[in-house]
Structure 1
Amino acid sequence: MQKVIRIGVLTPSSNTALEPLTNAILRELPNVHAHFARFRVTNISLTDQALGQFDDSNILAAAEMLADAKPDVITWSGTSAGWMGFEKDISLCERITARTGIPASTAVLALNELIALKKIKRLGIVSPYTEDVQQKIVRQYAAAGVEVVSEVHHDISVNYDFALVEPDTIEKDLQTVSQAKPEAIVTYCTNLRAAQLADAFEQKSSAVLLDTVSTTVWGALRKVGVNPAEIKGWGKLFSWV
């Protein structure tokens, strides 16, 4: 009998997309189970109140509850480091491990690892965010030596509403962004219903789709020593090891 591996997933409270998508991806691995803990996130903007939702104390409290289930890894399935600074996720992982003794990862750190692994320098971004949040993300990647050559955003700030963006709309966004010939396109939000679009999109495009729900799973599997390439049908990124 195979050992059951547990992935603890930290989830924004108003997110309705990442849990079903995460479970669907992991269906390829029946011995890997996902368990979720929420903390309050309802609005994405650059106001002090919105940024305060991501205070480490809120996230650590959720991580401690997840730790009661004895997961093999705890991962933050959220993209706040995209506009708050990549170093925030590095610090968060260190604090989760110090508090719980459990290895930690995040959607954004895994995404950045994938970008570095394939030496991607031309990136496209599709997100639901407002212009100012999107530009923060663009500037962060520019500072890291990655040019965002094309982007689409939907100027939405209510986190629940991100999941209301239809997959058909996201497909059109991907086609728009792909015209600039990026090496990869990121669907930069774990409350977008986009991960399942990867295979069909990649068959028609030279770009790979790096969805942030998928990068969360990829990073967590790497942390627990499971080969992500065992996952089929969810895009090329899972073959990158």
Structure 2
Amino acid sequence: MAEALTSGSALSRLRVGLIVPSVNAVIEPDCARIAWPDVTFHATRVMLRETTPEGLRQMNEGVAAAADLIASVTPDVVAFACTSGSFIDGEEGLARQIASIEVRVGCPVVSTSRCIVAAMAHLNATKVALATPYLDEVNAAELAFLESHGLTVTKLRGLGLSGKAIREVPPERVKELVRDVDTPDSEAIFVSCTDLRALEVAEELEHECGKPVLTSNQVTLWGIRNALGGVPAVTSYGKLLA
């Protein structure tokens, strides 16, 4: 992969497939912010009406069909880029989901929820403050997922939102949420949801809080970079991507 990135030919371009909820209007602009040379992003969508356990499970029923669609661009890696959709049925449900995508796309597959766990391990952090836009029942599922992977959530705050309302949260409100959820004993802060405008303020918050501030789109992009190999680090979007 690294040789392909530096060859300079048109054939060296690497393709990243994204499977995203239909309402998501944030992850593609965040991918454009990163703008790795010779890496292109291609998204397909799965219908999501409400970010509730029932709505997420209904959405997940369409993920296999979305994988069939994204396979047609012959991606080098595919990301299931929905935090809540990837944790709602725990690791067992996620493993089935990833296996179903892999058999259809024929390339490495990353998911936002697994990228959270991997990023925390990379940072040698086990205690995390959790900021989310979600309803309580979705927060409970995320808490259970993180704890099942050996992480301790020092504090959790959610905004009680669902569906299209999440993407309308301004970055200033995200900053307020992070300040509220941070605790002295947390080793990192995680801001959940690929449809929340958190990446653009992650580095500012890291400087303010004095610890890593991870976001769903940041950890997903980090997982994509690791899967591709040979992709350069980027600045201005937090310690993890630097």
TM-score (norm 2): 0.90
Q: Give the Cα–Cα distance (whole angstroms) in 2 for the partners of residues 104 and 114 of structure 1.
A: 16
Q: Does the Cα contact within 8 Å between 2:117 and 2:149 map onto a contact in 1? A: no
1:151 corresponds, among 126, 143, 156, to: 156
Retained in 1: the 8 A contact 2:175–2:201? yes
Q: 1:137 aligns with which of 123, 133, 142?
A: 142
1:13 aligns with 2:19: no
Structure 2 partner of 1:51: 57
One-letter identity of the residue aligned with 1:235: G
Secondary structure at the residue paired with 1:53? Answer: helix
Match of 2:40 in 1: 33
8 Å Cα contact 2:48/2:59 also seen in 1: yes
Contact 2:154–2:186 under 8 Å retained in 1: yes
- Give CA-to-partner distance per residue, 1:59-87, whole Å, 9 cap, x none: 12111111111111111110123332123
Q: Is the Cα–Cα contact under 8 Å of residues 181 and 207 in structure 1 kept in the other structure?
A: no
Q: Secondary structure at the match of 2:43?
A: strand
**Unmatched runs of 5 consecutive residues or more in structure 2:** 1-7
Matched residue type, 1:134: N
Q: Structure 1 runs of 4+ off > 4 angstroms?
A: none
CA contact (8 A) 2:75 2:105 kept: no
Alignment partner of 1:235 is 2:241: no
Deviation at 1:50, TM superposition (A): 4.2
User: Partners of 2:190 and 2:138 in 1: how far apart?
Assistant: 15
Which position in structure 2 is the counterpart of 1:64?
A: 68
Quickly say closer, same or farther: Cα 1:67–1:143, change in 2 above 3 A. Answer: closer
| Identical-residue share of aligned pairs (%) | 23
Unaligned runs of 5+ in 1: none
Looking at structure 1, the residues matched to 22 and 230 of structure 2 have their Cα atoms a distance apart, in angstroms, of 28
- 1:22 Cα deviation from its structure 2 partner: 1.4
Who is 1:93 aligned against?
98
Hey, what's the Cα distance between the residues in 2 that align with 1:136 and 1:21? 25
Shift, 1:154, TM fit: 0.8
TM-score (norm 1): 0.90
Q: Give the drift of 1:36.
A: 0.5
Instruction: Tell me the secondary structure at the aligned position of residue 179 of structure 1.
Output: coil
Task: Determine the C-alpha separation between the residues in 1 that align with 2:33 and 2:115.
Answer: 19
Identify if the C-alpha distance between structure 1 residues 50 and 99 changes in structure 2 by more than 3 Å, giving closer, same or farther: closer
